[in-house]
Amino acid sequence: MCGIAGILTKNIDLRDRYPLIENISESLKMRGPDAKGEFIKPYIALIHRRLSVIDPEKGSQPMRFGKYTIVYNGEIYNTDEIRHELENYGYTFETHCDTEVVLKAYHKWKEKSCEKLNGIFAYAIWDDEEKEMFLCRDRIGVKPLFYSLKDGVFAFASRIKSLLLIPEITTEVDKIGLYEIFMLGPAKTIGNAIFKDISELPPASYMYYKDDKTTIKQYWKLEAKEHKENESETIMHTHFLVKDAIQRQLVSDVPLCTFLSGGLDSSIISQIASEYFKEKNETLNTYSVDYVDNDKYFKSSVFQPNKDSDYIDLISNYIGSKHHNIILDNKDVAKALIDSTKARTLPGFTDVDSSLLLFCKEVKKENKVALSGECADEIFGGYPWYHNKDILFEETFPWSRSTDVRHSILRNGFLPNGDEYVHERYLETVNKTSYLDSDNKIEKRMREMFMLNLDWFMQTLLYRKDIMSMESSLEVRVPFCDYRIVEYAYNMPWNIKSLNGREKGVLRKAFENELPYEITWRKKSPYPKTHNPVYFKEVCMMTEEAITDKNSPLGELLNKNKVRELMHNPNALTEPWYGQLMRGPQVLAYIVQIYHWIKENNVKFI
């Protein structure tokens, strides 16, 4: 994985702005600490930072071929097939890396080339003759890509922070940005980057930029199709797709491990990875995360019925992995709220972010690549809101059904139209859902739920995973995001997907003979969070600083009495802020992150 950036100007000689180019490169260093490269001409600069995973000795970027120059971030999992197809057309290759394949595929097929790629990627290709830039992002949106067009300057980057270094781009946030932060956050609308001058290239899209004009087109979307396989065929097909996706993503020239929580998804990945390692007479390293004294304070709930630690040893021993349990200090998790906000350049997923950041830094000490089980829940119906008939048909985001708690912490009358803004975003997603005429009420709603989860909850998790892992210089791959699995699951009948009345029933059935029974049929448990009061105490102190700092505009936006009530009684919050992981302590942590986001970036509200 890597970090990329680029600047095009109409009348500024970028050779005179070399310190700016250096600063942008430095801002991407953690995404690519192994090497850096630049392509600079009077009115264009392309910047690359490399984290070497495949063919470390070669594959330097920016890479040139004919009139084209590429900066690329990602991994292509069907590289060999595309390379072979290009070789049949007469192309030759000097490296084993996928960058060269992506570049020459564009040379051959132009924008149609992105439809051939199976992987996670964001890249830009400069046409030196046409003076035209092409940008592209993977179908699911695993790899981020942001851009700006302001005052004759077009720029793009893997990080928002990199773009904010450019003088023409301001840190202004308008009313839309405030709606996004306070009414939808930590989620955000696809395409929105909160800052007024910056946008996000949507997943499954490509862009052409030339002569101050941008053209964006979507090259892939989910289409409703008839599912023609019976139950047993569907189980076999699911097994094949998942196993094939995992095996394709085990290719690496540097140390690779898996994240193992003891849940179904990470256990499937780790079991297949372990078999792959055994064939090479090697042992797979697996990693889990926990917190100091968490067992002491853990309380079972409907969302988290049991501890991961009860199951991790079971699956690790079963597959024969060398397991490492990373224990995080609770004060460190609180303090890392600031670092995780700096990494995002946005307020984020609170301790779900900060703990992952600390965890990835520990994993990076021995590894460069990891596989993780994200996104199986969105794709195979793993969340409670898929199965609760009382909320299934509510016309709202199921993980944040009410905005009451959001309004309650805000100054009276601030963002009065927040509910309307949220509902409009909800309808935009639902209205683009593809159906079959034969879909009954349940099937139609499950397609809508699929789209809501794909475009919102899943995007939040993927951005979190990319930013926190890459801030640690660790590449994390997500096999369940293989677009073939997504397409197949979208058209799978609900009675098969929820086989035996269970969340992810078809996935459980597909792998029941390869995992212990206790793992296969374990009730879903979310990402582990700390239950230790030490963390909450630390967050309360940080919150008090955030709401009393007279140099920050945040205090004027909040209802301080309501915030302090939450500090004294976090359990008073009956509705989650965002999913099962953001409740009282996390709402306070979110305020802390907003405060440091404003402070770090000198955010101006307009």
Positions marked active-site: 2
Residue 117: what residue type?
L
Look up residue 229 and give its DSSP letter.
-
Dihedral angle sign, alpha carbons of residues 222, 228, 230, 234: negative
In three-state secondary structure terms, 502 is coil
Burial of 419 (0-12, 13-18, 19+ CB in 10 A): middle
Q: What angle do CA 209, 210, 214 make, to 5 degrees?
A: 40
Question: Helices 309-319 and 264-279: crossing angle, nearest 10°?
Answer: 20
CA distances for 247 relative to 52, 78, 268, angstroms? 20, 11, 11
User: Of 356, 371, 295, nearest to 326 (Cα)?
Assistant: 356
Distances (CA, A) of 147 to 5, 470, 571, 599: 9, 19, 41, 23
579 DSSP β-pair partners: none
Cβ atoms of 524 and 504 within 8 Å: the answer is yes
Distances (CA, A) of 31 to 25, 27, 52, 98, 468: 10, 9, 10, 18, 10
**Integer Cα distance of 543 and 409 in angstroms:** 12
Instruction: Return the biggest CA–CA distance within the chain.
Output: 70
Tokens for 59? 């594959």
Residue 228: which residues within 8 A CB-CB, separation 6 or more? none
How far apart are alpha carbons 529 and 584 in whole angstroms?
13
Q: Name the amino acid, one letter, at 332.
A: D
For 81, 179, 527, the CA distances from 420, given in Å and listed in that order, are: 48, 10, 31
Q: Are 570 and 584 spatial neighbours (Cβ–Cβ below 8 Å)? A: yes
Omega cis (within 30) before 144: no
Q: How far apart are CA 66 and CA 48, in angstroms?
A: 19
Task: Answer for the pair 18, 45: CB distance below 8 angstroms, yes or no.
Answer: no
Q: Around 199, how many Cα atoms within 13 Å sit in the side-chain half-sphere?
A: 11
